[in-house]
Every structure is written in C-alpha cells, then in structure tokens.
Amino acid sequence: MSGLLLAIVGLPLAGALLVASLGRQRFVDPARVAAIVAAAHLGLVLLVAGALGSGHSPLALDWPWVPALGVRFALHCDGLACVCALLVAVAGLLAILRADGSPAAAASGASGPALTLAAVALLQGLVLAADLVQLVMCWEASALATSLLVGATAGNAAGRLAARVGAAVAGGGGLALLVAVLLIGDAAGGYLLSHLARPGSVLRVYPLYPLLLALVLAAACSRLVLWPLQAGVPARSPAAAGAGLLHAATAMVAGLYLLLRLENALGGTAVWRRGLAFAAFATFVASGAAVLAGPEWLLVAWRRLLGLLQRRGADRRPAGAPP
Amino acid sequence: MSALAPALPLVLALAAGALLGVLSGAALPVRRAIAAGALALNLVLVLALVVLADRGATLALNIGSGPAGVALQLVLDRLAAWMLLITATVALVGSAYACGTGADRERPRFHACVQFQLFGLQGCVLAADLCALFLFTEIAVVASYALAARAHGAGWPAAGRRVMLLQLAGSMLFVGGIGCVAVALGSTGYAALAVGVPVTPTLAAARTAGGALVLAALALHAMLLPFAGWRARERTAHVPLVLLIVAGAYGLLRLDTLILPCIGGGPCGPLPAVVPLGLGTLGAGAIGALAVGKVRLLAFRLLLFPFGWLLIAAGSGRDLGFTAAIYGLAHAAVAGMALCLATDLVARTRGPRPAFALLYAGAAAGIVGLPPLSGFMARLAILGATVADALVVWSIVLGASLAGLIAVVRAAGRIWWNAPRSPTTARTVPRIAVAAVVVAVALQALLGLAAGPVFEFAGRTERQVIDRAGYITAALTSRP
C-alpha cells in the first residue's frame, strides 16, 4: 500500500518527462497525454483517500537518502496530507484542462503541460514529505516550477514581471524555511516529522524559538500572499489562465499545509497566534488600501459612471430619434 | 603493475593527443572515433583507479629523479582518484557537445588540444611535487588557450593577450614560490614539504613566502576573490575554463591539507583566510549576477558560486566541512559544465525555444542551489558545517542564493520570451549537442539523488586526506 505514495509522486514526474520528450511532433497532442496522466494521478490519490477513509492506518515509507547530512527520503499520508494531495491533484487536472487550447499554451508547446505535471509532482512531494529537508526541497522547486509556468504562459510583460517577482519572493521564502528546518533539526535532533510529534515538543522552549517562528511565518506568508509578502502570487497576470490557477491554488495549499503541519510542534503560543492574526489583519488592511489608492480603481469607477450615464441618456431618448 | 597505475591515464591522454595531432588531416569520423575512444577508455581507466584507491592504499610512482631533489612524482589516493573521475567525465561530455556544434570540423587540432588539456589536468591532480604541478599546470593552460580561442571567436586576439599576461604573472608567482620553497627545504616534493623543518629563521621565512606565492598563483587559477572579477569580460565561461578552475581549487585543497597548515609554524588546521575569501568570492558572484544582463556574462558570474561554497566548506573545519568540499569539487565541475553548455546552446539558437529555456533554468538552478540538484546538497552540507559562524556565513550564502535565483529567473524568462518569434531565423542545433546538455543537467540531478553514497565516499576521502600519514609515507618510500 505504501508503494502508492511513491506512485503519487512518481507518476506525474514520469508523465512530465514523457510529455517533455514528445516535443513538437504532430501525432500526439502533449496536452492530451498530460490530461490523461493527471486524471490517472487523481485516481491514485482517490484510491489512497478511500483507503484512509475506510479506516486504514496512515501510509508511510522511509528510506535513507544522505546519512551524512541526516536526510531521509520519507513519505507519509495521514488525513491532512491526503486532503492537500487531493486539492493538488484536482488543481493540476483543472489547470491542464483549462490551459488546453489557449494561444499561450500553444506557443509553449509541450513545455507548458510538462511543467504543470512536474509542479504537481513536486507539490505532492511537499504535502506527502515526512522529512523536513525533503519538504523544503519540494517547496522551493515547486515554487520555481509554478512561477516559471506563469511566466511562460503570461501574455504580457506585466504578467512576466509578476511571475519573476513571485519566483523571487517564493524562493526567498524557501530559503527562510530552509534555515527554519535546520534550526528545527538542531532542536529536535532530526528532520523527520515524527521527531516533532512527541508530546511537550522541545521547539517551544528552544532558545531561538522567536527566530524559528518568524522564519516559518515568513515562509508561509510568501506562499499565502499574506502581508508583507503579498507579491508571492502574480495576481496581475491576466493571460495565465491554467498556470495562474495552478500557481495560486497550490501556493495556498502549500502555505496552509505548512502552518497546519507545524501547528502541533510550534503553535499554541501567544506569539504564534498574534503573529498569524497580525499577518492576516495587515493583509486585509493593505489590500483594502491598495484597492482604494490604486489608480485602476478610480479609472474603473469613472468608466462605470460614464457608462451608466450614457445608458441612462439612451433610455430617455424618445423613440425614433437618431442614436 | 599496480605501481604503474597512476601513470596510465596520463600515458593514454598523451598518446591519444600525439596521434590526433599527427592525424589532424585525417577524415573527421576517424578523428572523432579516436578521440571518443580515448576519452571513453580514460573514463574506464579512471573508474578502475577509483575502485583501486577506494581500497585505502596510496600508490606512489617516481618517474626519474632530477637535480636537487626535483622529481616527477605521481601519487594516487582517494582524493586524486575522485578528481581524475571528475575531469574525465567533464572532458567526455564537453567534447561530445563540441562535436555536436561542429567545433572539430572548423579546427582540425581540436581533439588533440582536448587530450593535451586532459593530460595537463590529470597530471596536476596526480602530481606530488611542486615542480611537476607547475609543469602540468602550464600544459593545461596552454592547451586551454587553444580551446578558448575558438570559444571566444573573433574578439580573442586582443582579449587573449590580456588573459595570457595574467596567466604569465601567475606562472611567475608560481616559479618564485617554488624557488623559495626549494631553497628553504632542499626539495619540492609535497611529502618533504609536509615534514621538512627549515634550519634557520631566514629559511623558515623563505618557506612561508614560497607557500604564500604558490597559494597566490593557485588562487589566480581558481579565480579566488582578488582575481574573481579580473578581466571577466574577456573570459567567456566555457568548459576548459571550468576544468582549469576546478584544478586550481583542487590544488588549494591539497596544499591546504597537506603542506600549508604547518607552514606558519602554528597548529595544523585550515588556513584562516580561506573562509573570508570564499565568502568574498561568493558575494562578488552574487553582486555580479544581479548586475549583468547578458546571458554569457551571467554564466561567468554564476560560476563563482560553487567555488565560493567550496572554499567556505574547505575552511570551515575538518569533519563535515572538508567532506562538503570534496562533494563540492564534483558539484562545481558538473554544474559549471552544465551552465556553460546550456548558455552556449541558448546563445546559438534563435527563435523561441521553451525547451532550451527549461534546460537553461535546470542547469542554472543547480548552480544557485535549487533542489533536487547537487547544488542543494552541497549548500546544505556547507550550512551544516558552518553552524559555529551561522550568522555571518548563512546570511551571505543564503543572500547570494537569493540573488542568484533572481538573476536566473530573469535570464530564463528572457530566453523564453525575448527571442525573435519568426521561425525562419531558427537555427537548428544538432541532436548530439542537445543530448550533451541534457546529460550534463542529468549528471547534476544524479549527483543530488545519489548524494548518500557520494557523501560516504567523500567522508572516507576526508579521513584519508586529513590523516596525511599514508600520503607522506607512500611518497617518501617510493623509489624511481
């Protein structure tokens, strides 16, 4: 059963390589192959979800990877990971279906669907990771993959710039998370999530707890579009239909998953609660202020007003009068 | 037979180089077949040497004995075997790419130059004597001039003169250093240097000065901080240059562990200057990467990343630090090669090439430390090895990574989009060249995924190198 976990990560990855190798030949449509792979992948995740739902114990898999650095290749799937994996699988399938046929997708050839599948595989690696270093690796790589995808399918310069800023912000968040994970490894004596699951976790009494918390929150904010890192998701890329959907949805999943996963080990303190509440409130205020102060808002409102006035004028025109 | 083993790759490269030089008028397939055969045989030989060295023995071979203790001595241990493997792999993949782009069609002596450069580099790796090191370095540098002249194109004569002057200055430093050391100790062999004690304070000062001069010359080849950005515009990043830098870094590692620690007379340990130099090199690379716009110039700045990491690792303690440096040698060579080849590939093609942009992003992502490529593992090990100075080292290493990431994303986006869109200007690139780039990027991924066994080997190498006794005994007891 735990081989299924490997398949959930491996199938989209293999699919990405397959789609990328299709290139620009005319016989097989890369987007169609990618859609089939994504659908099969969703089926796999549903299979695991069904098993978990019917009372199967959480799936786990643990192999040594780099013993010298204490890094293991470990996957596990409990309820939280399974919900996130389902979200990622659905978002991946929808993104491939949505992008199919758009001019930007046609220009990118096989690269667009391949990159989408690779991003899905990396995100599944993120939510299924049982080793924190592996989580960081998937975090960084998936952020880069979805940002590249948005940049690749963005129709205009503003969208590409937004994707670039998004990649830098998410990459910076990944570096913050890397430092946080190294600190957690120092405090807990290992990078496995099971080290953190022990009751009375050592992290809350760790001398560098405030720094650790700040780093984790910064990483989460970079993916959750929370202030002050709200540039993480390129909101202003109008043409990035499927890619934008995947990027936005999966960034939310990744950020929320991180916070929920570390809640037991790090959360529960006043600093944690206040930090999160402050980030959310500041985002609320900042986005409100941006909408009010932005020139687009005034322009849109002015045009609406003009349109309304014109229509009212048209309504009042007597029948038979020239328009 | 096993006593002669260290010389076999050198003999092979020299013979193949001479044969290819004589046959420079032969048909292209003949030359290619000979070159490919020689490089593949070299790789096989070197793999056998790695297995041989991994048994733990240190093999020494004395080829003749010159005047005043000057001898051509070759010593093979795990570190040397590892470095031989790196050079052989990079030479094979780099040559395959060059064949793909038709470099050997335009220049009949291309393959001969590659073999001579390999001969010089592998000689540098095996040399256990400062004179031999100097000799092999010069051979490698001269061969790389010939290779570089093609990589640079028409602008080479003027730029090449300046680079040659720089290298000549390095050679003078080298010769001066060797002279000082020979006067102080009566020998230039590494082993004699490691155990020799000068009899008077003046001679001790001469040994210190000689060590510093040799170090400066190697730093010039390895493009350490004072020389990092020097004449960067004249030096396009290409594979022979990467190999030269890796060889310089290897020389620094070897001297840092074997000879230099004890030169100051203090306790044997890593040189105190190595970590600041590495941090400075990394910082210079990061600032340069943000500053430049052209893809070719960016590659040259990004090349400084793995070498900065390597020095930081080498200077930060013995255990994990030096293991990370040994892993970093392979990472620097493979990632540098992947970046150079990918840069050349995208610079050659016109028209939108999303697949090539992705290849470039893959190659460059490894060099700035993005997972799951070798760069991430190398950086993780360095961060783990520098916990003691975490505040300074981690901020610079991670800040540089962020700067590099921004530069790479910018460049990849530009490659994807800013190319002319009309298909008529598209120039086809032969499949061999593309395959070579794919192999280079895949090697990076392989080094990252197989980091477990590689780090185990690096750990064994580190213990052998730090021990020093095996190397010194083998070198001192070998007979010509």
Contact A238, A255 (CB under 8 A): no
Predicted confidence at residue A120, as pLDDT, reads 93
- How big is the CA angle at A119 (ends B394 and B452), to the nearest 5 degrees? 50
Q: Is the pLDDT reported for residue B401 higher than 90?
A: yes
Asked if A148 and B358 come within 8 Å (Cβ–Cβ), the reply is yes
Predicted confidence at residue A154, as pLDDT, reads 67
Contact B108, B47 (CB under 8 A): no
Asked if B354 and A109 come within 8 Å (Cβ–Cβ), the reply is yes
Asked if B371 and A163 come within 8 Å (Cβ–Cβ), the reply is no
> Of residues B333 and A297, which shows the higher confidence score?
B333
B262 touches chain A (CB under 8 A): no
Instruction: Please tell me the distance in Å from B350's CA to the nearest CA on chain A.
Output: 15
Cα separation, B205 vs B202, in Å, equals 5
DSSP at B187: -
ipTM: 0.86
Which residues, 6+ apart, have CB-to-CB distance to A299 below 8 Å?
none
Q: What is the DSSP string of A278-306?
A: HHHHHHHHHHHHHHHH-HHHHHHHHHHHH
Q: Which of residues 108-167 of A touch B (CB under 8 A)?
A: 108-112, 114-115, 133, 136-138, 140-141, 144, 147-148, 151-152, 160, 163-164, 167
Of A303-307, B195-199, B315-319, least confident by mean pLDDT is A303-307
Query: Which parts of B198-266 fold into alpha helices (H)?
Result: 201-222, 225-228, 239-258
State pLDDT tens for residues B251-262: 888 887 776 555
Asked if B398 and A175 come within 8 Å (Cβ–Cβ), the reply is yes
Q: Is the pLDDT reported for residue B472 higher than 50?
A: yes
Predicted confidence at residue B125, as pLDDT, reads 93
Instruction: Please state the rounded mean pLDDT for residues B20-44.
Output: 92
Which residues, 6+ apart, have CB-to-CB distance to B119 below 8 Å?
B10, B13, B14, B17, B136, B139, B140, B143
Which of the given ranges, A99-103, B236-240, B408-412, has the highest pLDDT on average?
B408-412
From the list B84, B33, B96, B32, the residue with the least C-alpha distance to B439 is B96
Cα separation, B318 vs B329, in Å, equals 16
Q: Is the pLDDT reported for residue B66 higher than 60?
A: no
Contact A200, A150 (CB under 8 A): no
Is the entire prediction scored with pTM above 0.90? no
- 3-state SS class at B337: helix
At which residue do the structure tokens 């650095």 appear? A69
Between A152, A171, A182, which is nearest B416 by CB? A152
Which residues, 6+ apart, have CB-to-CB distance to A112 below 8 Å?
A31, A99, A104, A105, A149, A152, A153, A242, A243, B354
Between A68, A110, A167, which is nearest B455 by CB? A68
Of A122-136, B7-21, B99-113, B347-361, least confident by mean pLDDT is B347-361
Q: What are phi and psi of A100, to 5 degrees?
A: -60, 125
As to burial, measured by CB atoms within 10 angstroms (0-12 exposed, 13-18 middle, 19+ buried), residue B428 is exposed
Query: Which parts of chain A fold into alpha helices (H)?
Result: 3-22, 30-53, 79-99, 103-108, 111-128, 132-153, 157-188, 193-196, 209-224, 241-266, 270-293, 295-316
What percent of chain B lies above the pLDDT cut of 90?
Answer: 35
B269 touches chain A (CB under 8 A): no
As to burial, measured by CB atoms within 10 angstroms (0-12 exposed, 13-18 middle, 19+ buried), residue B159 is middle
State pLDDT tens for residues B433-466: 889 999 999 999 999 999 999 999 999 998 888 8
B352 touches chain A (CB under 8 A): yes
Q: Which amino acid is at A286?
A: A
Q: Is the pLDDT reported for residue B235 higher than 60?
A: no
Instruction: Please state the rounded mean pLDDT for residues B305-334.
Output: 89
Q: Is the pLDDT reported for residue B234 higher than 60?
A: no
Contact B131, B188 (CB under 8 A): yes
Q: What residue of B is the nearest CA neighbor of A71?
A: B452
Q: What residue of B is the nearest CA neighbor of A159?
A: B413
Q: Is the pLDDT reported for residue B94 higher than 60?
A: yes
From the list A263, A132, A259, A267, the residue with the least C-alpha distance to A186 is A132
Residue B267: count of CB within 10 angstroms of its CB: 7
CA dihedral in degrees (B22, B26, B29, B34; nearest 10)? -20
Between B352, B371, B405, which is nearest A107 by CB? B352
Cα distances from B61 to residues B7, B64, B77, B119, in angstroms, run 8, 9, 12, 17
Asked if B377 and A66 come within 8 Å (Cβ–Cβ), the reply is yes
From the list B127, B107, B135, the residue with the least C-alpha distance to B35 is B107
As to burial, measured by CB atoms within 10 angstroms (0-12 exposed, 13-18 middle, 19+ buried), residue B475 is buried
Q: Which amino acid is at B145?
A: Y
Instruction: Please tell me the distance in Å from A123's CA to the nearest CA on chain B.
Output: 13
State pLDDT tens for residues B206-219: 887 888 888 888 87
Paired strand residues for B73: B62
Predicted confidence at residue B157, as pLDDT, reads 64
B363 touches chain A (CB under 8 A): no
Beta-sheet pairing, B59-65 with A71-77? unpaired
Q: Is the pLDDT reported for residue B409 higher than 90?
A: no
Spans in chain A with pLDDT lower than 70: 23-24, 101-108, 154-156, 198-201, 227-242, 290-323
Which residues, 6+ apart, have CB-to-CB distance to A187 below 8 Å?
A202, A203, A206, A208, A212
Predicted confidence at residue B205, as pLDDT, reads 81
Instruction: Please tell me the distance in Å from B455's CA to the nearest CA on chain A.
Output: 6
Q: What residue of A is the nearest CA neighbor of B449?
A: A65
Query: Where do the domains of chain A lie?
Result: 3-312
State pLDDT tens for residues B112-157: 999 999 999 999 999 988 888 899 988 988 888 777 776 566 666 6
Which residues, 6+ apart, have CB-to-CB distance to A206 below 8 Å?
A183, A187, A212
Q: How many CB pairs under 8 A join A and B?
A: 104
* Joined tokens for residue A58: 């959480």
State pLDDT tens for residues B271-303: 677 888 889 889 988 998 888 878 888 888 898
Asked if B398 and A178 come within 8 Å (Cβ–Cβ), the reply is yes
Asked if A182 and B361 come within 8 Å (Cβ–Cβ), the reply is no
- 3-state SS class at B363: helix
- 3-state SS class at B2: coil
Asked if A68 and B416 come within 8 Å (Cβ–Cβ), the reply is no
